[in-house]
Structure formats: C-alpha cells, structure tokens
Chains A and B, each alone.
Chain A
Amino acid sequence: QQQVKQSPQSLIVQKGGISIINCAYENTAFDYFPWYQQFPGKGPALLIAIRPDVSEKKEGRFTISFNKSAKQFSLHIMDSQPGDSATYFCAASTKGQGGKLIFGQGTELSVKP
C-alpha cells in the first residue's frame, strides 16, 4: 500500500532523445509526487514535483505527466544530454511536500553522446 514502484531499473538513451521513467502507486492518500536526481556519492536533488490536481507540469526539459485514475506518474526528459546521466527517483508523500517521502526503486539513466 505504501510502495511506489518505479521502472525501468536502467535506461540508455542517445543524446538528444527522450528519456521516460514511470512510477505507479496504490495509496490514494498520496498528495505530493516529486522526482529527485542523484549523482554518484551525492545526496538527491529535487528536480520537479506535482500534486494530483494537475495532469502535467513542465520545467525546462523536464515534464511530469500524472494520471490520477491509473495511479501512475512519469518523468520525461526532453533532449537528453550526457550530463543528465544519473539515478532518478520518484517519490510520494501523504502530507504534502513536508511529509515523509516514500521513494521508488530508482532508475539509472545513461545518456550516450
């Protein structure tokens, strides 16, 4: 019930391509869905986040698509660059952006030049 399932586990994309990472959840009480980017040996950094009353949010090359009825949300990285190579985590919280975060399993993205 509290899990957030993330796929794929790893992803290889050519430079300039679109990277798509998907997450699914069961708990309908989740009300905040952030995406984090983590480089090796570093802490996660907030990329973009969405609330369930919005179906899409875009910030630069990063877009979250949210499907409330399917209980799924995804991260799209447009024009992927080698510098985007990192591990990406989706997460969910039941008390907004200040609540405990339940993280997905992570996706290791590699963008080939």
Chain B
Amino acid sequence: GAVVSQHPSRVICKSGTSVKIECRSLDFQATTMFWYRQFPKQSLMLMATSNEGSKATYEQGVEKDKFLINHASLTLSTLTVTSAHPEDSSFYICSARDRNRGGIQYFGAGTRLSVL
C-alpha cells in the first residue's frame, strides 16, 4: 500500500520554541494532505486541509497563526507549531490523499509533541 512518512516521531521542546513536523507521501503525489490532532484516548480532530500551491484551509477554532501549514510540493506538507506551550502537547497526525487510488487517504505514523 501507499506510504506516508511523518517526521519526527517524537519531539520534546521548551515552551516558546517552534516545532516543524514533516509529512511526505513516498510513492504517490498528494495534492491534498490533512493534519489532525489527537488527545489521549480521544478521536482524531481535523485541524486543517493542506492543498499544494495554495493556502491551507483551517477548521473552526484552529489558530492559523499558531499552526502554520506549508504544502510546497506534491509530496511534502509541513506543520509548524509556533511559540509552543504545554497545552499544545498532543499527538499530531497527517494524511495524504492519493488521487490515483480514488482519493483514498493514507495516514502517517504520527508525531508526539511534548512541550515543557
């Protein structure tokens, strides 16, 4: 099946610093990627839809200035958590849509962010 690589898998940072998470589609081109946030024992919450070459579309309540999304190529989208605070600690997961397989979404392995 299609592979989506997400990096890093785990990051610990100090409060006030920025953290960048990468999401790559390894064997297909993804014009659309999605970013989710998941708290322990909870469901996935869609944060934003990332479209190649255009601005991301953010879900209601998600601060676009805090969670910067860049989709500069057909295989890479990045999520930058700016000025991270302890409340931003969470599990962040990306997915990429493979239009050659009917648009099925494949998920990355997730990034565990811990802000001290």
A interface residues, Cβ below 8 angstroms from B:
36, 41-46, 89, 96-101, 103-106, 108
Contact = CB atoms under 8 A, between A and B. Distances in A.
The contact size tier of chain B is 20 to 34
B109 A97 contact: no
B60 to A, nearest CB: 11
B109 A43 contact: yes
Contact of B43 (A45, A99, A100, A103): A103
Given A43-B6, A89-B44, A98 B105 contact: yes
A79 to B, nearest CB: 23
A97 B108 CA distance: 17
Given A41-B112, A98-B99, A100-B49, A46 B43 contact: no
Q: Taking chain A's interface residues, is the majority helix, strand, or loop, or is none over half, making it mixed? A: loop
Q: Taking chain B's interface residues, is the majority helix, strand, or loop, or is none over half, making it mixed? A: strand
B67 interface: no
A97 B105 contact: yes
Contacts of A96: 102-103
A51 B70 CA distance: 32
B41 A97 contact: no
Contacts of B109: 42-43
A89 B107 CA distance: 13
B112 to A, nearest CB: 7
B50 interface: no
Contact of A44 (B6, B42, B44, B104): B44
Interface string B31-61: 0101000000111101001000000000000
16 contacts: A36-B107, A43-B4, A43-B93, A43-B95, A43-B110, A44-B44, A46-B106, A96-B102, A98-B102, A98-B105, A99-B103, A101-B34, A101-B44, A105-B42, A106-B42, A108-B41
Given A41-B112, A43-B6, A101 B107 contact: no
Contacts of B105: 46, 97-98, 101
Contacts of A43: 4, 6, 93, 95, 107-110
